[in-house]
Structure 1
């Protein structure tokens, strides 16, 4: 790419996180997601000794990533008040991008993943060269505005739908972008000058929910997204699970009706083949109902009482509920967060999701809490920023 893609002065390619050990990264992550905490409480939650906490906290305080304040609200009867350790969110900035089939959404966040700026722009073309050009332009714009904060931008996260190998930074296959084997992390770093983390969009959203959202403090939960596709991010024993081949959590391709419609994956009756937006539109057309050329028109028809549209949403809700029950039966999560752009029509299939889940969940798996969180694409970009924050903390020596 041309040299005009170079980052502004807000960017840094040299900033590294002063976590010399995995324990230090674990302690910082605990404070980041659950703090402020006293050192005693931090040791308990991290499962480490007080001495280990003190050793790990010292360089993080010296570098300005952690701050220790007196807890004036919990003053003991005798002696000094306990000190609370917290993250200085303004110590570093991050960028997050969410790529869809036709747009790029970008955010600037602080170290605590609080969104400071949000932008979006159309994609002129889906070929990698055009997307990289749009990506570079979005990054330049955000870096220019980041200059006003006087803090370095130290990482970039990019969220893409499909099969994404985060370790290699490669998009193996993205159906909406029609990409195969694109080394996006390497290319993005080249055009922006920022260390780039690339991950599946649902897993990125799951990282944000784990550290900063509905999954804080939970060791086992899932995020299920509905809309143009059906995805699932899994957290098991406190870790976001990608699986041996990076496709863990693909409930969109769990068969819930062997006689159902064909799916683009080659099987029949997958959750996505019944409940994704294109499947709902196809169902309405096949049933001979009123014409619906977009999902907004399908929603309007269903809310107006169109029988075919309502049946399509009812069927979609049942498929989603069965898919969530499969996750609950296999992994026993404490909570499933339901999100995605499809939640705009949640009133049309909420009852079916919950009733199908209750019918298919086995035993105590039915105790799993279902929570809905409508999140716009800017929040998915924030998820990408969360992956950049995660990489910055846990991979301090990466290029």
Structure 2
């Protein structure tokens, strides 16, 4: 008996040519724009832009409206090309060790509905069953809107090969070599894109968030793990083996605590939630249960707890400086669930970054952006939007 085939896409995006996808992404992430401005930014002729947008307008993905401010002295105002955000819907799911968080979004990755379901265990079959139930809930919501869901994205932590659709290793889920794209597509009946959760969040920030309009930036996530997504020359960098940006495993103290990766003194071994909790327990003799309790002790003025957060901030600052020194990004965005305690280590991050950043790298714009887990699910939806627009290449960068 042959293996079941993957379900076909509910609808094919009507612009498979690279130029058409490029124009659409520009209208999506930077628009609405006039045809002349689209031509200028894309490096195309006005005729090529007109050819690219025609099928997209006919299919309802792009709309053209008058730009009254650009009205010439005589004649009609110039037309603005923008995206019809409600033309298609997408599902994004972030899988943690304890639950699956799902969102339904439009083409602009605006969250229309959010849902959460707990995981009874972390086995792949349990996660897939939960994913199917969550997807059905969101598809029912989409039916009420009368718009088709054309793709889904799933984001998990760890070493994820997006091109192969494979979760190579996820420490929080305790998975190895799980072909999640194929399994999730068969389970949900939708085309599925699977990516590392930090890279997925980086895509959302690049196209629709604090990285929009920047060709080079980094997203650093602080919490259970320390992650980093990189955008270089307008593209999210995965690296040859899919693990680019692992600043959580940059060594900042060779004599420091043992990391789960096997090395000592990694940023994550000093600044991850578990590391902070363990340090506060050891220093105070208090049976601290989790990061929230550790932060509460520090906020109450317990010096040993405050010192643990200061040490974490120093490690994070050094990790960020390493990124700035190597790549020179315009901006570093700090996010993640660990930002709930940001006031406890913000000064240490700033000081150690300034001390370790070389020359003009210290001018990098470092800013914080608190994001709930629904935003991580939105990142998964952003990867589905990206794949839908240009499936062969995983989506064009918005600055191409």
Does residue 275 of structure 1 match 2:271? yes
**Structure 2 CA distance for aligned equivalents of residues 107 and 46 of structure 1:** 32
Alignment partner of 1:351 out of 331, 347, 351: 347
Alpha carbons 1:260, 1:268 under 8 Å: kept? yes
Shift of residue 114, structure 1, vs aligned partner: 0.6
Alpha carbons 1:256, 1:322 under 8 Å: kept? yes
Does residue 208 of structure 1 match 2:201? no
**Structure 1 CA distance for aligned equivalents of residues 289 and 384 of structure 2:** 38
Alignment partner of 2:281 out of 285, 304, 311: 285
Shift of residue 180, structure 1, vs aligned partner: 0.3
Alpha carbons 2:318, 2:353 under 8 Å: kept? yes
Q: 2:3 maps to which residue?
A: none
Shift of residue 20, structure 1, vs aligned partner: 3.0
Structure 1 window deviating more from structure 2 (288-297 vs 129-138): it is 288-297
Alpha carbons 1:221, 1:336 under 8 Å: kept? yes
Q: RMSD over aligned Cα, in angstroms? A: 1.3
Alignment partner of 1:62 out of 50, 55, 58: 58
Q: 1:366 maps to which residue?
A: 362
Shift of residue 121, structure 1, vs aligned partner: 1.1
| Equivalence map 1:196-235=2 (5 Å) | 196-235=192-231
Structure 2 stretches lacking a partner, 5+ long: 1-6, 395-400
Shift of residue 291, structure 1, vs aligned partner: 3.0
Q: 1:389 maps to which residue?
A: 385
Q: 1:332 maps to which residue?
A: 328
Structure 1 window deviating more from structure 2 (49-58 vs 341-350): it is 49-58
Q: 2:67 maps to which residue?
A: 71
**Structure 1 CA distance for aligned equivalents of residues 357 and 145 of structure 2:** 49
Shift of residue 310, structure 1, vs aligned partner: 0.2
How far does the alpha carbon of each residue in 1:90-141 deviate from its partner, in whole angstroms, 9 at most, with x for none? 1000000000001000000001111000011100110000100000000001
Shift of residue 396, structure 1, vs aligned partner: 6.6
**Structure 2 CA distance for aligned equivalents of residues 397 and 23 of structure 1:** 13
Q: 1:127 maps to which residue?
A: 123
Q: 1:4 maps to which residue?
A: none
- Say how many residue pairs are matched: 388
Q: 1:90 maps to which residue?
A: 86
Secondary structure, aligned partner of 2:378: helix
Q: 1:184 maps to which residue?
A: 180
**Structure 2 CA distance for aligned equivalents of residues 147 and 375 of structure 1:** 28
| Equivalence map 1:79-118=2 (5 Å) | 79-118=75-114
Does residue 260 of structure 1 match 2:256? yes
Alpha carbons 1:12, 1:154 under 8 Å: kept? no
How far does the alpha carbon of each residue in 1:270-324 deviate from its partner, in whole angstroms, 9 at most, with x for none? 0000000000011112223433111111010000000111000000000000000
**Structure 2 CA distance for aligned equivalents of residues 345 and 289 of structure 1:** 21
Q: 2:150 maps to which residue?
A: 154
**Structure 1 CA distance for aligned equivalents of residues 364 and 98 of structure 2:** 36
Shift of residue 13, structure 1, vs aligned partner: 3.0
Alpha carbons 2:154, 2:380 under 8 Å: kept? yes
Alpha carbons 2:284, 2:305 under 8 Å: kept? no
Normalising by structure 2, report the TM-score.
0.95
Structure 1 stretches lacking a partner, 5+ long: 1-10
Structure 1 window deviating more from structure 2 (72-81 vs 140-149): it is 72-81
**Structure 1 CA distance for aligned equivalents of residues 121 and 356 of structure 2:** 43
Alpha carbons 1:16, 1:397 under 8 Å: kept? no
Alignment partner of 1:193 out of 189, 193, 199: 189
Q: 1:18 maps to which residue?
A: 14
Shift of residue 12, structure 1, vs aligned partner: 7.8
Secondary structure, aligned partner of 2:284: coil
Secondary structure, aligned partner of 1:43: helix
**Structure 2 CA distance for aligned equivalents of residues 351 and 198 of structure 1:** 36
How far does the alpha carbon of each residue in 1:334-355 deviate from its partner, in whole angstroms, 9 at most, with x for none? 0011000000000000011111
**Structure 2 CA distance for aligned equivalents of residues 234 and 397 of structure 1:** 18
Alpha carbons 2:16, 2:390 under 8 Å: kept? no
**Structure 2 CA distance for aligned equivalents of residues 34 and 12 of structure 1:** 31
Q: 2:398 maps to which residue?
A: none
Change (3 A) 1:21 1:261: same
**Structure 1 CA distance for aligned equivalents of residues 48 and 77 of structure 2:** 21
Q: 1:6 maps to which residue?
A: none
Q: 1:170 maps to which residue?
A: 166
Secondary structure, aligned partner of 1:375: coil
**Structure 2 CA distance for aligned equivalents of residues 396 and 15 of structure 1:** 15
Q: 2:302 maps to which residue?
A: 306
**Structure 2 CA distance for aligned equivalents of residues 73 and 340 of structure 1:** 40
Alignment partner of 2:314 out of 298, 302, 318: 318
Shift of residue 397, structure 1, vs aligned partner: 10
